[in-house]
Structure 1
């Protein structure tokens, strides 16, 4: 395998993950993760989820509580590949609205305006499908809310809106869309 092929495979998983989030498409979501209980998620709701079965049950529950009204606007800040491990750091806007009484189900992840639910995430990939086959899968996902776009960053005073999603010193973000990934 080449680094270029690894990058393409990982970015496809990244795109599939965020595309699955758009309408909570469970089969597409499941295709991104290893089999069994190896997967670990730190959800934006503040709680951990262990393995694909728990993740599936969470999404079945969210299907009754949330409507992800548009494809998330995700900007990749970093993509690092080293051997059989890789990671992505990204920021984005997750456009959702409550359709059930519980919404996100968490005080940690309170919904704001439908189009201004800002988040940051780290995705950890391993070349292992959970059954020992050398196939890239996402083994860990950690997501948390971003501050408001106009909140000054302590010590520096700049804002998220000023630097743009995924922006930072020397960073040219990559954007994931339903059509793929572009810079």
Structure 2
């Protein structure tokens, strides 16, 4: 049985590969992150669900004609919890993109600012991992991903106040975020 440190390293490698694949919509790298078959479930930033790797590939083939993601997303891990054969990550970040196609994001819930070269779009995401590659082999894979837009950086939190600009990306009470870069994780 792998140690907790080995599990953490495997999960963080998948997390890094996922965001690196997003960088330029690299489908072969993206496919390595998820389980085989139709078990994977994604709640995409566009608001729609996608089921299994075939639908995920079709979505990315579409977005390769619509969106340009030139910079590596600035992702801060707020929580990483591992318990047995399950794990989850909560993160937020900046997803810099430019619309290049006619339909763009194709979504009323995922809108980009017009007239700027790259939109530093704020996102938050939850990633669920399971030690199962979709065929039953004990290999960590991401089984669920849920992404949604963040409020504007200067928008106060309802009922409590404080803004993302004031707290810092990925920060919160008792949180020292881990920054994901194309070279891995750093504190």
Q: Distance in 2 between matches of 1:161 and 1:69?
A: 24
1:174 counterpart (169, 173, 178): 178
The corresponding residue for 1:7 is: 8
The corresponding residue for 2:19 is: 18
Tell me if the contact between 1:94 and 1:117 (Cα under 8 Å) persists in the aligned partners: yes
The Cα shift of 1:115 comes to 3.8
Unmatched segments (≥5 aa) in structure 2: none
The Cα shift of 1:95 comes to 0.2
Q: Distance in 1 between matches of 2:173 and 2:152?
A: 20
1:116 matched to 2:120? The reply is yes
Unmatched segments (≥5 aa) in structure 1: none
Tell me if the contact between 2:76 and 2:169 (Cα under 8 Å) persists in the aligned partners: yes
Tell me if the contact between 1:93 and 1:115 (Cα under 8 Å) persists in the aligned partners: no
1:102 matched to 2:106? The reply is no
The Cα shift of 1:116 comes to 2.0
2:159 counterpart (155, 160, 171): 155
Counterparts of residues 24-173 of structure 1 (less than 5 Å): 24-112=25-113, 114-173=118-177
Tell me if the contact between 1:152 and 1:158 (Cα under 8 Å) persists in the aligned partners: yes
The Cα shift of 1:131 comes to 0.3
The Cα shift of 1:117 comes to 0.2
User: 1:103-133 deviations in whole A, cap 9, x for unaligned?
Assistant: 1100110013524200000000000000000
Query: In angstroms, what is the RMSD of aligned CA positions?
Result: 0.7
Tell me if the contact between 2:112 and 2:119 (Cα under 8 Å) persists in the aligned partners: no
Q: What is the number of residues matched between the two proteins?
A: 183
Tell me if the contact between 1:77 and 1:171 (Cα under 8 Å) persists in the aligned partners: yes
Runs of 4 or more, structure 1, over 3 Å off, are none
The Cα shift of 1:155 comes to 1.3
